[in-house]
Structure 1
Amino acid sequence: MTASVSVLLADDQELLRDALSTVLGADPRIRVTGGVGDGASAVEYVRAHHVDVVLMDVRMPGMDGISATAEVLHVSPTTRVLILTTFDLDEYVFAAVRAGASGFLTKDTRPAALADAVCRVAEGDAAVAPRAAAALLQHVRRQILPSGDPLASLSPREREVFGLLARGASNADIGARLFLTGNTVKTHVRAVLSGLGLPDRIHVVIWAYENGMVRPGDGNLRGAGGAEDHPPG
């Protein structure tokens, strides 16, 4: 990553904002550009000053983090939101992810892990507190599979990549499974996100569950025509 990641801190506790600013500011990859105490101020800040990532608390006075996440992404679709919360199984956090957040971590996350997560999210990846990954999928409401082929816009190779993304595979996993270079994987991942109109990898997983293409625990993807349907010989 050549350019620093610009970050806005949105939390109603000034002491925590100061601590986060110190921790993240010590990482040469990150540049903290400001801090605000409520959701409405976060939206206005992003409207006036583009930032790569908003590190957002959920429970704030006035406009909460859920509404603020949706508004921030409406004002600046290229900005990413990473939720920082006290409880990793908070239903409000799941609602924020559904509103477009690229993931969430707990406030006791180690500084190095938090900085890494901010950088991953800025690059279009996702970050989810490990203990909450399964619970997140359980909170995804199943919808009826739309008529026609929901993956019609994807090429056969992109469908394979989608199939692995839907199971949470990393770029390295995808490359090893499909015998692709790192840059080629990144190109296909971007094409999948663009073709499905999704902001990042975590929303690929949610989209697959919502459309009935993945069932919790069964490891099977239906309709993707992907790598799991045709394992290499």
Structure 2
Amino acid sequence: MIRVVLADDHAVVRRGLTGLIESTEDLEVVGVARDGNEAVDLVREHRPDVAVMDLQMPVLDGVEATRAIVGEASGTEVLVLTSFSDHARIDAAIEAGAVGYLLKDAEPEALLDGIRAVARGESPLDPRAARRVLSRRSTGVPGPDQAAAALSPRETEVLRLVVEGLLNKQIAQRLGITERTVKAHLTSAYQRIGVADRTQAALWAQRHDLGGSR
């Protein structure tokens, strides 16, 4: 029997996934979490074979919950199940230690097979996620650690101020540069770290300990 912990902040999704998994003969749900903190606690308590993890959750997001679970070397493998297929989130989840990445619009049997694959030591990837990972590797786009190292000191400084919630005009005033220069630094930073907008950049910066001015 493969023991599973589920983590998702939507009650309908939790109930649906629980019913789907419990309908099988070889999978068993041993815990259901509403946020990342609960997921970490349930993994500590039950030591499941697989944790099925959403990414966007309150209190503690799925990336940080994955990092905590993997860091404790409990033997639990993490399978991400999310609505997001952008490469920044895929990279962050894999960097945190997730071994599989599936999307919520997958067929039910694909999820069940994914859980079984993770329990066997395999790494199931949704085809769209796999294409993004392979595309990044084939084109030489850096992963998260390389991207952080590739940021210029000024780009890093601007990202820290974005995390603080400052607008471009305020950043310009703080750094003694023009708004146009701030926009140029942000555009360059977005390209380096593989995000599309300010919100994604702020989340990326927080995950990589760039939050707050130093």
Q: TM-score, normalised by structure 1?
A: 0.57
Q: Are residues 143 and 87 of structure 1, via their aligned partners in 2, closer, same or farther at CA, if it must alter by over 3 Å?
A: closer
Q: Which residue of 2 aligns with 1:141?
A: 143
Distance 1:95 1:110, change over 3 A: same
Structure 1, unmatched stretches of 5+, are 145-233
Residue 70 of structure 1: aligned partner: 67
Q: 1:5 aligns with which of 2, 5, 20?
A: 2
1:48 is aligned, of 45, 50, 54, to: 45
Q: How many residues align?
A: 141
Please, which of 121, 124, 143 is the counterpart of residue 118 of structure 2?
A: 121
The 1-side partners of 2:144 and 2:87 are apart by: 20
1:38 matched to 2:35? The reply is yes
Quick one: which amino acid aligns to residue 42 of structure 1?
A
In the other structure, the counterpart of 2:89 is 92
Aligned to 1:17: 14
Query: What do residues 204-223 of structure 1 show as CA deviations (whole Å, max 9, x unaligned)?
Result: xxxxxxxxxxxxxxxxxxxx
Q: 1:142 to 1:96 in 2, by over 3 A?
A: closer
Residue 89 of structure 1, CA deviation: 2.5
Distance verdict in 2 for CA 1:78–1:98, change over 3 Å = same
User: Is 1:27 the counterpart of 2:24 in the alignment?
Assistant: yes
- Structure 1 pair 118–140 and aligned structure 2 pair: CA distance change class (3 A): farther
Bigger radius of gyration: 2
Q: Name the counterpart of 1:227.
A: none
Q: CA deviation at 1:78?
A: 1.3
Report the Cα distance in structure 1 between the residues aligned to 2:76 and 2:23, rounded to whole angstroms: 22
Cα contact 1:102–1:126 (8 A) shared by 2:
yes
Q: Are the counterparts in 1 of residues 87 and 129 from structure 2 also a CA contact under 8 Å?
A: no
Letter in 2 for 1:18: R
SS in structure 2 opposite 1:125?
A: coil
Q: 1:90 to 1:134 in 2, by over 3 A?
A: closer
1:83 to 68, 80, 85: 80
CA distance, structure 2, for counterparts of residue 7 and residue 113 of structure 1: 16
Q: What CA distance in whole angstroms lies between the structure 2 residues aligned with 1:141 and 1:36? A: 30
Structure 2 unaligned residues grouped into runs of 5+? 147-214
**Percent identity for Structure 1 against Structure 2:** 38
Q: Which has the higher helix share?
A: 2
Query: CA, structure 1 residues 140+78, in 2 after alignment: closer, same or farther (shift >3 Å)?
Result: farther
- Following superposition, the deviation at residue 50 of structure 1 comes to 0.6
TM-score by length of 2: 0.62
**1:114 and 1:121 mapped to 2: Cα distance?**
11
Deviation at 1:87, TM superposition (A): 2.3
- CA displacement, residues 164-213 of structure 1 (integer Å, 9 cap, x when unaligned): xxxxxxxxxxxxxxxxxxxxxxxxxxxxxxxxxxxxxxxxxxxxxxxxxx
